[in-house]
Amino acid sequence: MALLLLSLGLGLVCAQDFNPQRIVQRNYDISKVSGTWYSISMAADNRKRIEEDGDLRIFIEGIQVVEDGGLKLSFHFMLHAECTDVAVVCGKTGKSGEYTINYLGENSLRILEADYQRYVILHMRNFRNGTATQVLALYGRFPELKSSFLDRFHKACRSHGLGPEKIIPFSNQDPCYTR
């Protein structure tokens, strides 16, 4: 029995090995993005918006492709110390991996890169009350990811002008986690 548990544990660790050949950065097969996701880390040029009680501090639950090719994002956030579930539908733009959302203002959402079985990095621009906010999010298929995936996210943040002081780790921070 102990050997079986050890094998299972090692299998899960190996399943998270970073493989650059699996990374997709264009021509996305959006059907492979569907499923359960976990919030791993977020970064924003206005960090207050993703800090505790920030209006863009969300915890992803899942992504589903809808009939017209858009995406349905299911997530939750804390509102008055209560978990609040939300689902929004992102409209297709005609460009692979790019969408629009009407949530707390006008938003554009773009997939920066993905390994469909392990992680996805999203880039969002929120326009609200004449102010633009840039947000990057790292979602994983597992509640935690190895440091190689976090390094990849940090690199994406740097390429969008977001330094380490703008990044907040979300692993094990979800107050509503029940999965």
Q: Is the pLDDT of residue 178 over 90?
A: no
Whether residue 2 is predicted with pLDDT greater than 80 in this model: the reply is no
Distance CA 80, CA 109 (A): 27
Beta bridge partners of 41: 138, 169
* CATH code assigned to 30-161: 2.40.128.20
What would the pLDDT profile of 83-134 be if each residue is shown by its tens digit? 889 999 999 998 999 999 988 889 999 999 999 999 999 999 999 989 999 9
What's the CA gap between 32 and 64, in Å, rounded?
Answer: 9
Name the residue with higher pLDDT: 101 or 171. Answer: 101
43-63: b or e for each residue (b if 16 or more CB lie within 10 Å)? bbbbbebbeeebbbbbbbbbb
Higher pLDDT pick, 5 / 67: 67
Q: Which residues 6+ apart lie within 8 Å of 2 measured at CB? A: none
Q: In what order do the strands lie in the sheet with 59-65?
A: 35-36, 59-65, 71-79, 82-92, 98-102, 106-115, 119-128, 131-140, 38-44, 167-169
Return d(Cα 19, Cα 114) in angstroms, integer: 11
| pTM to 2 decimal places | 0.86
Q: Where are the domains of the chain?
A: 30-161
pLDDT score at 8: 40
Residue 47: pLDDT above 90? yes
Query: What are the Cα distances from residue 110, in Å, to 13, 89, 90?
Result: 29, 14, 10
d(CA 174, CA 166) in angstroms, rounded, equals 19
